[in-house]
Each structure stands twice: as structure tokens, then as C-alpha cells.
């Protein structure tokens, strides 16, 4: 594992299913952006960030407002150093593909990532390589998430910026979406509007 | 033909451009092709030729309909921002796409240039077969090549490809040129006639009502004169005229002037003229009584003499016909026989003269001059001559069948305003009705030119093998032209959408499938190809050698 990978490490798998996993961040508010591409190395699995949650570690101890006497939000954090230990950020990742024998497949892996696998954010090169095919959109559109359109939109927007020819990538994405959603024009329209440059 | 010309005629706009894939269909209704995202529905027109590459066969077909489809039936109810190019572009071709309906007409040989001929399609290509626009080679395989002696008549819609007709097949059956006035019937006819002349397989006899084919004609739209057959083919064409003065005024020296003796008029002719002379049934049939009394040769002359002497009443009593009817017959025939071309007795048999020319492989144009507008004169003269010529042909053909002579040369008789003597009431009596029905048994076929095909007897029309139809807008005329044609429903929409000029729908015997043709320009360029294409270099040399042999 390279040093670069350690820098890109964003969390650790704490919950895992065949279609998605949840990772806990090492840093509070350290989760990757919605729609961002992340991966694990054991096994090699790619996924797209579907939701990010920051919540108290102990669900029995709800978060209280603490900034009444502070001037800025930074003051609140500084004056309450315990917060970093009481709160945690988690993100859910929808599995978008995996690597098997050196070949990348954009369908579900035989097994989900192991719990405690490290989760890394992908670099632009990896993103553009993985999204050169867009079968992952089928997985995302059918992820069952209530906001799957938003995830798809965010994923395409983010991936576009990693490509050398964003316009070509967008056109390819539009074609794939149109084929996937050929029987649901209203949904297609709403996603297209989200990725329109 | 020069290389340059060759190149000119051979440029194909989109040779075998991929169009889309077959998504559904049936033999009865044709197949539906979904257009590829890159192909605009506006590019494809009804009538365009396409090829469909099936698994084992290649099909050749015609676009009969163009439509718009969508994968989501709810799309038409979903408000979409039509001014957002990003959105529209994303949907175009995938969610919202164009479709074309294609009727596969022929199965093509797998390899171009293969010995196998295109055959009528009895199946359809499988799902996902690719559709392409037909290339020049495809069109040539189907319709024939100019190099193989076919006649270049124009181009298919939206293609620069030469569309050629097999004239040998064309003249084997009667043909019709239809279209409302001003749609280019005369030009098309001129073109076809030059083709027939150039081809040389058949002779033609043209009853030139308005003196347009023989010497020169007028292009009223462009205000220029165009060359007639005599100018283009010289000695191959003989011109006859009914009106010598008219011909002289036009600076044309005709080969023969036609004088018709009363002795050639038969009661059948009177019957035929009944309508144009406004004669009653009784009056017309009185002619038969007269023939019985005075004999075949002189009944008309004797009758007119009796009338002149004022003894019609006695004659009516003797023949036991109505005196009024007889007087009407006398008046009308009297007026009719005052035409300049009618003489009391003519010893020259014009029909025999014409036959002589025809047998020598020449083509005969009979100009009517000022009598062209006289319907009765046109009907009488054309019938009278054709009847005699036809009779001779029947004799010649029969003796040829008996082994006593050679086959008469195929003859195409060209008549205009055909509905006047091929209408339901007289078609059974006129010689043209007989020729149309007898078809090619006696090597004589008709070329009828008409603007009111609905006026032609349906039975006669059904015998017209190849039909060229320019724009028609009267429902009944369209029905008449398409009667007895398979797929007439699809053709009807094509026919009604023809352009007003220089376009014709051609279908029938001489073509493997119906086609819309942009008729070739009849002008100086065309004359050049004729002169260039008439004799090959060798042939010309041979003729020169022959002339100056000694």
C-alpha cells in the first residue's frame, strides 16, 4: 500500500452488506463528498458515497447546543474539545464494482468488503479510469436509496471533473442514462437537469 | 460516354449510409426500422430506397412512411424544456427516436455482380437487421445499368444515381403517361420516345395532336423551344401531316401529306364519332344501312351527293330510317368532310405508306396542325389509320406464325387525350380498345397519354402494363391510375405528394418495384448524350467506310 493511499484513507468499514457498506471516518466531518468514488483493497471493491451522517457515538446522549456564549462556530469547537470524541462521522457507500483477477467489473462482488477494511478516496486518474464505463449507473439507479437520483447526479458531476474531456464524458453519461431510463422520461429529465453543465 | 460524364452521373450522395435497425414487422405490412441516434428523421423521405441486411439475405425496399416514436408512452404528457439543448440532445435518438416503415420488395444477390437476379421478397429480415440507404450499385442491380442498354430516365428521389428502364420490356406491354395538365407529361413522353427510338427494338407511330413531338416543341415554362424527334434522329423519323400549310409555316418540310378519301371512312368510325359529333344512336347506325345500300367503297360519297341533291327524305323512306336522324347525319358528316384533309376519293393508301416506313424501321409522326384541336378529326384519323395498320399487323403476325413470313416489328402507337376514345362507352368499339386488350399478341402496343385517367375504361386501363404518373390530385384519377396495383394504399400517399413538375411515380410491368423518378432534363445536355450515344466510334467508322467504299 503506497504512502499516497494512506493520505487518501478516509475511514474504516464498520458495517457491510452485499450492496453497500458503512464506513466510519477517522476525523470528525472527514467524510468524502456525496457521489464520490471510494474503494477498499481487501477485496478490491469500488463504491459511490450515498449518504454522510455525523451523530453522537452514544445514541443515548443527544447532542446539545453549546454556542450560546461563543462568537463564532470555531469558538464552539475550541471551547468544547470533547466533542471530537463524543461525535462521529459515518458514510454509506453503494457498491459500484470490483476488481477480479486484474479485471474491473461494474457489478456486485461475490462478497462485500470485510469489516475494518480501510476505505480510500480515489484519485482523479482512478476515477476517470473506473468511469470510462458507466454500467455502475445501473447499480446506483437501482440502489433502493430514496435519493438515488441525487447520488447519480452527484457521481456524474464529480467524475466529469476528473476526465480530460468532461463534455464527452457527460454526453456518454447522458446516453447511458437515457438507455437506463428509457421508460421513465420524468426521472431521466430530473437527473439530466442535475448534471446539465 | 466520356469519363467525365460517367463521373457526373455516378456520384452517389450517401452510398450505403447506415440508418438503423429493424425492430418489428410483418410480410403484409413491411418492417419498422428504428433510426440510429445520429440519423435525423428529416433526412429520410417517403419513397427513398433502402437495403436491409438480414442474416442470410439482403433485402431491397422502399420507405413508405416516416414516423416519430418514444420508449415511454408518457413522454408526450411530460413537460420537457424544449429550449434546453443539453436535455434534448440526451433524449434524441434514444428515448425519442425516428422510425421508418419499409416494405422489403426484393431479395438481392449477396454479392453485387453475382449472377443471381433480384427476386421478389417473400420474407422479411430478422430483428436487429441493419438498414442502409441503397447505394448506386444496389439501384443499378435492381433497375439495370445504362451500359447494358437500359434507358436512363431520371434519378430516384434524393439520389444522383441513374435510374434506368428496360425499354425492351417497356414496349412489350401498353404503357400510360398520366398527370394533370402542366406536370410534364409531354416532356416525359418525348424522353420515352427518344429512348424507344434510340433503343431501336420497336417502331413508333405518334398521333401528334398538338404538333409537339415531330419537329420542335415549346417549353412554355421556360419560354424556349425544344428539339423534336425529327431534329434529333433525322432520317429515322418520318413526319406526316394533315395540315401542310401549318407545317410550312413552322418551317418544317414534312415527308408526306395525308389525304383521306371518303372511301376509307367506315360506319364504325361514325359510331365512334357519335359523341363528338353529337349524333343520336339512330343517326349513327343509319351509316350501316347506307353501307349496305351503296357498298363499302362509296357509301359516304353517294350519301353526301344524295343530300346535296335534296333527296334525303326519299332515301330515309327507302332505308326505313328516321328522316330527322338521317338529316342530322348528313349535316354533321357534311361539315366534317369539309376538312382540308378529306378528299372524295384518294388512291394513296396512307396507312400503307405509314406501314412502309414502319417496316423499314422508321418512326412515324403524324402532325395534326390546326386539326389538333378538332377532337372528331383526331379520333377519326387516328382510328382510321390505326385500324388499317393493325389489320396488316395481324395478317403479318399470323403468316409469321404459319411460318410464311417474318415477325412484324414491334410497334408502339402513341395517342393523346386517350379518355376520349377509350372511355367506357366506346372502348369496346375503337381499335385502341382492342389493341389495349389484345396486348402484345400482335406486336402492337399503346402508349396512352392522358390527364383524366378516370375517363378511361377500367378494363383497358387494367391492361396498361407500365404506368408513369405525374402529379394527380383528383381522387378518382388517382384511384384509376392505381387500380389493380398491389400496395396501392402506400402508393396513393406517394402519388399525392409528388412535386408539380418533373417527378413521376413509375410502376408496373417494366420495373421490379414502384419508384418515384426525378425526370431527367430534356434539353441541350440530353441531346448531346444522344448524339454521343447513338453510334459507337467503330460504328461511325464503319458507316463512313461504307459510304466511301469505292
SS3 B550: coil
Residue B457 sits in the same domain as residue B505: yes
Q: How far does A107 lie from chain B, in Å, by closest CA?
A: 24
CATH number where B456 lies: 3.40.50.300
C-alpha B498: how far from its chain's center? Answer: 17
Q: Is the pLDDT of residue B11 over 50?
A: no
Residue B103 domain-assigned? yes
Residue B162 domain-assigned? no
Query: Are the Cβ atoms of A185 and B86 closer than 8 angstroms?
Result: no
Helices (H) and strands (E) in chain B, counts: 20, 23
pLDDT at B4: 33
- How far apart are the C-alpha atoms of A125 and A53, rounded to whole Å? 27
Q: Does B71 touch chain A (CB under 8 A)?
A: yes
Residue B417 domain-assigned? yes
The strand order across the sheet containing B163-165 reads B163-165, B151-156, B515-519, B503-508, B464-469, B174-178, B444-450, B411-416, B203-208, B363-367, B237-241, B256-257
Residue B159 domain-assigned? no
Q: Is the pLDDT of residue B166 over 90?
A: no
Q: Number of structural domains, chain B?
A: 3
Residue B211 sits in the same domain as residue B331: no
Residue B212 sits in the same domain as residue B92: no
Q: What single DSSP character describes residue A43? A: T
Residue B139 sits in the same domain as residue B44: yes
Residue B246 sits in the same domain as residue B267: no
pLDDT at B6: 35
Query: Are the Cβ atoms of B94 and A175 closer than 8 angstroms?
Result: yes
Q: What is the DSSP string of B133-160?
A: EPPHHHHHHHH--GGGT-EEEEEETT--
User: Mean pLDDT, to the nearest integer, of B173-191?
Assistant: 87
Most confident of B145-154, B271-280, B503-512: B503-512
Q: Does B84 touch chain A (CB under 8 A)?
A: yes
Residue B189 sits in the same domain as residue B218: yes
B248 CB neighbour count, 10 Å cutoff? 13
Domain residue ranges of chain A, discontinuous segments joined by +: 3-195
3-class secondary structure per residue, B297-352:
CCHHHHHHHHHHCCCHHHHHHHHCCCHHHHHHHHHHHHHHCCCCCEECCCCCCHHH
Residue B505 sits in the same domain as residue B357: yes
Residue B239 sits in the same domain as residue B268: no
Residue B212 domain-assigned? yes
Query: Are the Cβ atoms of A184 and B84 closer than 8 angstroms?
Result: no
The least confident of A101-105, B341-345, B475-479 is B341-345
Question: In terms of Cα–Cα distance, which of B347, B414, B333 is closest to B377?
Answer: B333
* Nine-digit cell string for A90: 459515518
Angle made by CA atoms B108, B112, B116, in degrees to the nearest 5: 55
Mutation site for B-interface testing, chosen from A185, A186, A190 by largest number of B Cβ within 10 Å: A185
User: Mean pLDDT, to the nearest integer, of B29-58?
Assistant: 88
3-class secondary structure per residue, A145-178:
CCCHHHHHHHHHHHHHHHCCCHHHHHHHHHHHHH
Angle made by CA atoms B435, B439, B440, in degrees to the nearest 5: 110
B156 CB neighbour count, 10 Å cutoff? 20
pTM of the model: 0.71
Residue B428 domain-assigned? yes
Residue B250 sits in the same domain as residue B383: yes
- Residue span of the structural domain in which B494 resides: 167-254+353-519
User: Mean pLDDT, to the nearest integer, of B249-270?
Assistant: 80
- How far apart are the C-alpha atoms of B538 and B315, rounded to whole Å? 69
Residue segments in chain A with a per-residue pLDDT below the cut of 70 = 1-4
Residue range B458-475, pLDDT digits in tens: 888 888 889 999 988 888
Q: Is the pLDDT of residue B393 over 50?
A: yes
Chain mean pLDDT for chain B? 81
User: Mean pLDDT, to the nearest integer, of B13-21?
Assistant: 73
Residue range B296-307, pLDDT digits in tens: 778 888 888 888
C-alpha A99: how far from its chain's center? Answer: 18
Q: How confident is residue B401, by pLDDT bands cut at 50, 70 and 90?
A: confident
Residue B124 sits in the same domain as residue B227: no
Q: Is the pLDDT of residue B534 over 60?
A: no
Q: How far does B40 lie from chain A, in Å, by closest CA?
A: 17
Residues facing B26 on adjacent strands: B30
Whether the predicted interface score ipTM is above 0.85: no
pLDDT at B8: 36
Residue B451 sits in the same domain as residue B401: yes
Last residue of a domain, one of B310, B342, B374: B342
pLDDT at B243: 81
Strands B237-241 and B363-367: parallel
Q: Does B224 touch chain A (CB under 8 A)?
A: no
Compare B546 and B88 and report the one with higher pLDDT.
Answer: B88
Amino acid at each position: 500500500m503506497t504512502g499516497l493511499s494512506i493520505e487518501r484513507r478516509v475511514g474504516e468499514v464498520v458495517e457491510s452488506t452485499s450492496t453497500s457498506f458503512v464506513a466510519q471516518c477517522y476525523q470528525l466531518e472527514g467524510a468524502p463528498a456525496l457521489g464520490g468514488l471510494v474503494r477498499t483493497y481487501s477485496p478490491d471493491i469500488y463504491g459511490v458515497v450515498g449518504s454522510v451522517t455525523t451523530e453522537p457515538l452514544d445514541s443515548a446522549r443527544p447532542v446539545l447546543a453549546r454556542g450560546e456564549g461563543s462568537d463564532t462556530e470555531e469558538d464552539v469547537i475550541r471551547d468544547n474539545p470533547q466533542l471530537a470524541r463524543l461525535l462521529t462521522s459515518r458514510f454509506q457507500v453503494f457498491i459500484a464494482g470490483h476488481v477480479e483477477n486484474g479485471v474491473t467489473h461494474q457489478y456486485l462482488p461475490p462478497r462485500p468488503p470485510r469489516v475494518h477494511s480501510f476505505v480510500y478516496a480515489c484519485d482523479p486518474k482512478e476515477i476517470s479510469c473506473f468511469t470510462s464505463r458507466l454500467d455502475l449507473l445501473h447499480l446506483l439507479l437501482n440502489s433502493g436509496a430514496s435519493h438515488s437520483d441525487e447520488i447519480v447526479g452527484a457521481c456524474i458531476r464529480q467524475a466529469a471533473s476528473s476526465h480530460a474531456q468532461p463534455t464527452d464524458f457527460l454526453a456518454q453519461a447522458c446516453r447511458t442514462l437515457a438507455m437506463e431510463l428509457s421508460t421513465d422520461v420524468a426521472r431521466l429529465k430530473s437527473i439530466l437537469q442535475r448534471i446539465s453543465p | 460516354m466520356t469519363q467525365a460524364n460517367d463521373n457526373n452521373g455516378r456520384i452517389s450522395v450517401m452510398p450505403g449510409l447506415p440508418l438503423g435497425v429493424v425492430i418489428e414487422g410483418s410480410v403484409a405490412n413491411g418492417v419498422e426500422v428504428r433510426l440510429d441516434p445520429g440519423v435525423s428523421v428529416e433526412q429520410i423521405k417517403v419513397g427513398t430506397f433502402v437495403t436491409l441486411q438480414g442474416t442470410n439475405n439482403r433485402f431491397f425496399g422502399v420507405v413508405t412512411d416516416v414516423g416519430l416514436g418514444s420508449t415511454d408512452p408518457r413522454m408526450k404528457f411530460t413537460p420537457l424544456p424544449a429550449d434546453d439543448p443539453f436535455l434534448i440532445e440526451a433524449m434524441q435518438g434514444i428515448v425519442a427516436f425516428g422510425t421508418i416503415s419499409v416494405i422489403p420488395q426484393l431479395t438481392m444477390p449477396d454479392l453485387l455482380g453475382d449472377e443471381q437476379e433480384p427476386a421478389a421478397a417473400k420474407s422479411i429480415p430478422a430483428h436487429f437487421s441493419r438498414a442502409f440507404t441503397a447505394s448506386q450499385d444496389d439501384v443499378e442491380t435492381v433497375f439495370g445499368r445504362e451500359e447494358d442498354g437500359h434507358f436512363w430516365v431520371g434519378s430516384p428521389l434524393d439520389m444522383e444515381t441513374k435510374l434506368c428502364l428496360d425499354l425492351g420490356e417497356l414496349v412489350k406491354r401498353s404503357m400510360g403517361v398520366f398527370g394533370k395538365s402542366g406536370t410534364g407529361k409531354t416532356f416525359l413522353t418525348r424522353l420515352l420516345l427518344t429512348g424507344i427510338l434510340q433503343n431501336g427494338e420497336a417502331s413508333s407511330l405518334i398521333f401528334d395532336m398538338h404538333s409537339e413531338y415531330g419537329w420542335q416543341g415549346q417549353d412554355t415554362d421556360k419560354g424556349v423551344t425544344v428539339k423534336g424527334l425529327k431534329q434529333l434522329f433525322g432520317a429515322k423519323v418520318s413526319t406526316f401531316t394533315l395540315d401542310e400549310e401549318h407545317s410550312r409555316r413552322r418551317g418544317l418540310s414534312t415527308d408526306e401529306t395525308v389525304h383521306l378519301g371518303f372511301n376509307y371512312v367506315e360506319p364504325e368510325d361514325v359510331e365512334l364519332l357519335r359523341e363528338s359529333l353529337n349524333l343520336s344512336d339512330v343517326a349513327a347506325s343509319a351509316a350501316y344501312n347506307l353501307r349496305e345500300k351503296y357498298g363499302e367503297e362509296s357509301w359516304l360519297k353517294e350519301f353526301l351527293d344524295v343530300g346535296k341533291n335534296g333527296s334525303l327524305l326519299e332515301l330515309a323512306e327507302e332505308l326505313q330510317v328516321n328522316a330527322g336522324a338521317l338529316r342530322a347525319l348528313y349535316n354533321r358528316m357534311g361539315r366534317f368532310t369539309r376538312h382540308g384533309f378529306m378528299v372524295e376519293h384518294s388512291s394513296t393508301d396512307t396507312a400503307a405508306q405509314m406501314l412502309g416506313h414502319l417496316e423499314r424501321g422508321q418512326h412515324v409522326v403524324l402532325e395534326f396542325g390546326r386539326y389538333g384541336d378538332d377532337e372528331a378529326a383526331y379520333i377519326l384519323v387516328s382510328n382510321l389509320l390505326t385500324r388499317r395498320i393493325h389489320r396488316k399487323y395481324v395478317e403479318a403476325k399470323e403468316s409469321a406464325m404459319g411460318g410464311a413470313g417474318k415477325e412484324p416489328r414491334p410497334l408502339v402507337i402513341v395517342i393523346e387525350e386517350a379518355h376520349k376514345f377509350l372511355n367506357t362507352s366506346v372502348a369496346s368499339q375503337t381499335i385502341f380498345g382492342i389493341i389495349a386488350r389484345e396486348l402484345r399478341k400482335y406486336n402492337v402496343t399503346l402508349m396512352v397519354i392522358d390527364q383524366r385517367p378516370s375517363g378511361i375504361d377500367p378494363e383497358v386501363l387494367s391492361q396498361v402494363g407500365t404506368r408513369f404518373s405525374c402529379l394527380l390530385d383528383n381522387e378518382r384519377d388517382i384511384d384509376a391510375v392505381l387500380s389493380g396495383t398491389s400496395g396501392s394504399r402506400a402508393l396513393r400517399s406517394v402519388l399525392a405528394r409528388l412535386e408539380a413538375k418533373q417527378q413521376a411515380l413509375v410502376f408496373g410491368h417494366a420495373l421490379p418495384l414502384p419508384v418515384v423518378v426525378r425526370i431527367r432534363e430534356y434539353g441541350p445536355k440530353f441531346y448531346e448524350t444522344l448524339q454521343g450515344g447513338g453510334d459507337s466510334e467503330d460504328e461511325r467508322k464503319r458507316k463512313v467506310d461504307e459510304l466511301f467504299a469505292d
